[in-house]
Structure 1
Amino acid sequence: MGSKTWADLAREMKMFLWNPEERTCLGRTAKSWGLIFLFYFIFYTCLAGMFAFCLYVMLLTLSPYTPRYRDRVSPPGVMIRPYLNGFTIAFNVSQPGTWQPYVDSMHHFLAAYDDKVQEEKNIECISGRYFIQGGNESEEKKACQFKRSLLQNCSGIEDPTFGYSKGQPCILLKMNRIIGYRPGAGVPVSVDCKVQKGNESNLRSVDFYPGNGTFDLMYYPYYGKLTHVNYTSPLVAMHFTDVKKNYMVPIQCSLNGKGIINNVNSDRFLGRIIFTLSIGK
């Protein structure tokens, strides 16, 4: 038997693709192909149904209001405002264009803290103790008032420039929200700031608001955005009234309280935050 030519191979391939005598395609009749497609359709439909059922049963065990497992939740991280271009706040007092964006950012952020807004949406609470709210977890929770006037010199009310026009900038610090978290174990968490690296005399004076720079217990615990609709995170304002001018000053502001961790070198936001102030004349 001689070897097959390319023409023979092409003819066999054509016959395999479609055999007009046996009316088969790729060696199978239309009925055979139909049964195969039907089998796989039913098979994958059953798999999809089983997956959907398992997912549905799993979701039934979860609450949309409270995380089921919270044993691995770390102490809160912190963040500052204004936050525009990273963690360096640099401006020249004599050039309003360099500090006006920070001022605008502060006003925008504090709009939700306006006294009238807080009086309309939230209630007055008893200071110095946690605001525990019972009832069904799906019930809407009340939120305590945090008025921007509590920030005093850093409220933007008396000084709309938040001290930036005088080279004495205000920076706001807030803790990240954690559902059910009660910071300080009954004692308010406080804030302090220091020079992170370098000469400590580069930062000579910082004023804290409200009070002595603490997070009042009445703003905790937080119940989640679905039920704690009008909740506004409490703030601590840091008024840097005497910082060395024309110099990059790295500053570390830390939370202090029972259960607070602020010395993990691998996480600069856990219980502390590091930023740089550069104030030109």
Structure 2
Amino acid sequence: MADKKTDEPYKRPQTLTRCEQITHFLYNSETHEVLGRTAKSWFQIALFYVVLYAFLAGFFIALLTVFYQTLNDHEPKWTMDNSLIGNSPGMGYRPTHADPDVTVISFNAKDPKYWSDRVDDFLGPYYTIAPKADAYAECNYGTANADPITPCSFKVDLNKCAQNDYGFGVNKPCLFLKPNKIFGWTPIPYTKEEIESEELQMPANLQAAILKLPTDVIEKNIWVSCMDMDNMNVTLEYDTHIGFPTFYFPYANQAGYLTPFVAMQIDNLPVGVTVKISCRLWAKNIVVDRQRRLGMTNLEILSNA
């Protein structure tokens, strides 16, 4: 059978210039293609990607919805032993430098403004938030534990530390010590008999100050002590409070909760020498671990004049 022959001989494709090739690609008038695709092809591919990304977006939203169902806005999922924080609080102090990399409290008594301003920043909420009586409960040693909704009111009661730019202006700076917050943690204080015993090895000045108090006060406080690590003969004196009453605990993310603090004044600071001070908490269920900074804190202070 003879091969069929076309009426028209083979034609070499027309040679197009570079500009014509680009124009031809953008729109082919013969096939009505735009960028190499017909309108139908563009519609199909657009529909495919719309459906694909709509599905992915819906799937992602569904996962987020399920995830947020497992969260609680008021309390953490993991607390106490089940959390990374654990069940023994650390300890913090104020003032600190605005730059977290600066760990030494270096001050000049002739120009104490920077550090007095830092203390003002710390005490600000205690003066502005605490007066709102309707948001706070008036607690005392007859109060068993903090209310999970209404926090106990903490009133700032300073004596010597309220003078001379919190002591920084007369080379007797005041430090404000506070326990770190742990959700749901309740302290177990030492009894009067345990404080009197030598096994506890509590500093004599703190022990003497505690034993002057009524028994119900003794057995409802977390106590604080500080010591000069290098025996520089620095004097450490409590301003007013010497402990944290247990009715401020447990912390339960109460709105407006203010952590109680103890003010400690440092006297006889040598000029030009960095003094290392270590402070710790005293309660039965507080572990003191210097490596992990549990139940204690270290600080350095330098008087330049």
Letter in 2 for 1:271: G
Alignment of structure 1 residues 1-281 onto 2, 5 Å: 15-70=24-79, 71-72=82-83, 73-74=85-86, 75-85=88-98, 86-93=102-109, 95=110, 97=111, 99-114=112-127, 117-118=130-131, 120=133, 121-127=135-141, 130-133=144-147, 141-149=149-157, 151-154=158-161, 156=162, 159-182=163-186, 184-187=187-190, 188-196=221-229, 199-200=230-231, 202-211=232-241, 213-224=242-253, 228-265=254-291, 267=292, 270-281=294-305
- AA of the residue aligned to 1:69: W
CA pair 128-163 structure 1, distance change in 2 beyond 3 A: farther
Cα distance change, pair 116–65 in 1 and its aligned pair in 2 (3 A): closer
- Higher-Rg member (1/2): 2
Deviates more, 1:32-41 or 1:16-25: 16-25
Q: Is the 8 A contact 1:88 1:278 kept in 2?
A: yes
Q: For the residues of structure 2 that align with 1:15 and 1:48, how far apart are their CA atoms?
A: 37
Measure how far apart 1:92 and its partner are.
Answer: 3.2
Instruction: Check whether the contact 1:131–1:221 (CA below 8 A) recurs between aligned residues.
Output: yes
Identity rate, percent: 29
Once the two structures are TM-superposed, the CA of residue 173 in structure 1 deviates from its matched residue by 1.5
Distance across 1 between alignment mates of 2:106 and 2:46: 67
Counterpart of 1:218 in structure 2: which amino acid?
A: F
160-169 or 123-132, which deviates more: 123-132
Question: For residues 120-149 of structure 1, what are the alpha-carbon distances to aligned partners after superposition, in whole Å with 9 as ceiling and x for unaligned?
Answer: 352221327652436xxxxxx212121111
1:25-49 Cα distance to aligned partner (Å, 9 max, x none): 3442111111111111111111111
Aligned-partner Cα distance in 2 for 1:195–1:272: 14
Tell me: CA distance 1:153–1:255, structure 2 relative to 1, closer, same or farther (3 Å): same
2:166 counterpart SS class? coil
What is the TM-score normalised by the length of structure 2? 0.71
Equivalent pairs counted in the alignment come to 255
Letter in 1 for 2:139: C
Q: Is the 8 A contact 1:255 1:271 kept in 2?
A: yes
Distance between the aligned counterparts of 1:101 and 1:12, measured in 2?
A: 72
- Cα distance per residue 1:214-246 (max 9 Å; x no partner): 22111111221xxx2232110011111233333
Q: How far does the alpha carbon of each residue in 1:193-226 deviate from its partner, in whole angstroms, 9 at most, with x for none?
A: 2334xx32x1432122544x322111111221xx
Q: Deviations over 1:58-103 (max 9, x none)?
A: 212322111122211333333322223533222333x1x2x12222
Task: State whether residues 119 and 145 of structure 1, in contact with CA within 8 Å, keep that contact through their aligned partners in structure 2.
Answer: no
Partner SS, residue 66 of structure 2: helix
| Deviates further, 270-279 or 110-119 | 110-119
Gaps of 5+ in 1: 135-140
Instruction: Name the CA shift for 1:27/1:111 in 2 (closer, same or farther; >3 Å).
Output: closer
Deviation at 1:105, TM superposition (A): 2.6
Contact 2:129/2:256 (CA < 8 Å) preserved in 1?
Answer: no
Could you list the runs of 5+ residues in structure 2 that have no partner in the other structure?
A: 1-12, 191-220
- The 3-state SS of whatever aligns with 1:233 is coil
1:138 matched to which residue of 2? none
User: 1:254–1:203: structure 2 CA closer, same or farther, 3 Å change rule?
Assistant: farther
Does the CA contact (< 8 Å) of 1:130 and 1:221 recur in 2?
A: no
**Structure 1 residues 17 and 119 mapped into 2: Cα distance closer, same or farther (>3 Å)?**
closer
Whether the 8 Å CA contact 1:128–1:217 is kept in 2: the answer is: no
Q: Distance in 2 between matches of 1:45 and 1:115?
A: 49
